[in-house]
Amino acid sequence: GLSAESYRRQHEITVSGDNVPAPFTSFESSGFPAEILREAQNAGFSAPTPIQAQSWPIALQSRDIVAIAKTGSGKTLGYLIPGFIHLKRRRNNSQQGPTVLILSPTRELATQIQDEAVKFSRSSRISCTCLYGGAPKPPQLRELDRGADIVVATPGRLNDILEMRRISLRQVSYLVLDEADRMLDMGFEPQIRTIVKEIPAQRQTLMYTATWPKEVRKIAADLLVNPVQVNIGNID
């Protein structure tokens, strides 16, 4: 097969960190559970995208990641599939709160993530709830009360529900900050910091961003521990 270096060169992947594992250049080489491979096949995906190929093996080592890649590069499954595998290892009681938390800037994006999570986990008995503003709280709270392994949320709505003490984040051990640059542009930094204070420090944190300005570097430095950085394309 292709060496890690030539695959990275071919797909404009740059990495920084200690002992970065080789990318998964095919689904077959990923070692993912059969039900996940089946969903990838059902979706018509022939190969991992570059961000998936490189971030999957890193995430499976339970390491923190900063991934910088533009829109449409397949970041969602980049963090969802390792999140499913993380959940299988933990087997927490979802009634006591989520194990996986994904923060997303908008209702629309959060809903898309939720849809992809439901689709790819349908044969895995994983429950997933989406919390976003601009919609009444009671239905979201009722769904939450039924138990959710994965919560996908916008920072504003999750913060409201935290203040109402209707969710505990003490069980979260896999945290994703999706579109981190956009969340900061929208002014969500205080809510993000409040939310993260409720999550145990002993966790895996993955940050996905399209750009890498100093505000994003700052929050990455504060919230992630010794992350591996993965860049796709010509981003400084």
Q: Which is nearer to ligand ADP, 70 or 89 (CB)?
A: 70
Instruction: Please identify which residue in 1, 34, 72, 138 interacts with ligand ADP, judged by CB under 6 A.
Output: 72
User: Binding ligand ADP by CB under 6 A: which of 17, 21, 33, 74?
Assistant: 74
Q: Which of 13, 36, 48, 162 binds ligand ADP (CB under 6 A)?
A: 48
> Does residue 130 contact residue 103 with C-beta atoms inside 8 Å?
no
Q: Which window, 59-67, 74-82, 128-136, 139-147, contacts ligand ADP (CB under 6 A)?
A: 74-82
**Angle subtended at Cα 17 by Cα 14 and Cα 18, rounded to the nearest 5 degrees:** 130
156 binds ligand ADP (CB under 6 A): no
Instruction: Give least dist CB 236 to ligand ADP, A.
Output: 19
Number of neighbouring beta carbons within 10 Å of residue 17: 16
Does residue 117 bind ligand ADP (CB under 6 A)? Answer: no
Cβ burial of 72 (10 Å; 0-12, 13-18, 19+) is exposed
Nearest to 97 by CA among 141, 139, 148, 138: 148
Report if residue 83 touches ligand ADP, rule: CB under 6 A.
no
Minimum gap (Å) between residue 164 Cβ and Mg ion = 28
Q: State yes or no: residue 73 binds ligand ADP (CB under 6 A).
A: yes
Which of 49, 55, 159, 205 lies at the binding interface for ligand ADP (CB under 6 A)? 49
Q: Examine residue 54 and tell whether it contacts ligand ADP (CB under 6 A).
A: no
Site for Mg ion in 23-82 (CB under 5 A): 75
CB 140 within 8 A of CB 158: no
136, interface contact from Mg ion, ligand ADP, none, CB < 5-8 Å by kind: none
Q: Which of 17, 45, 141, 185 binds ligand ADP (CB under 6 A)?
A: 45
Q: How big is the chain by its Cα radius of gyration, in Å?
A: 17
Give the three-state DSSP class for 177: strand
Q: How far apart are CA 192 and CA 210, in angstroms?
A: 18
* Separation CA 26–CA 113 (nearest Å): 23
Q: Which does 72 bind (CB under 5 to 8 A by kind): ligand ADP, Mg ion, none?
A: ligand ADP
The residues of the shown chain that bind ligand ADP, judged by CB under 6 A, are: 45, 48-49, 52, 71-77
Please report, as ranges, the residues that interact with Mg ion according to CB under 5 A.
75
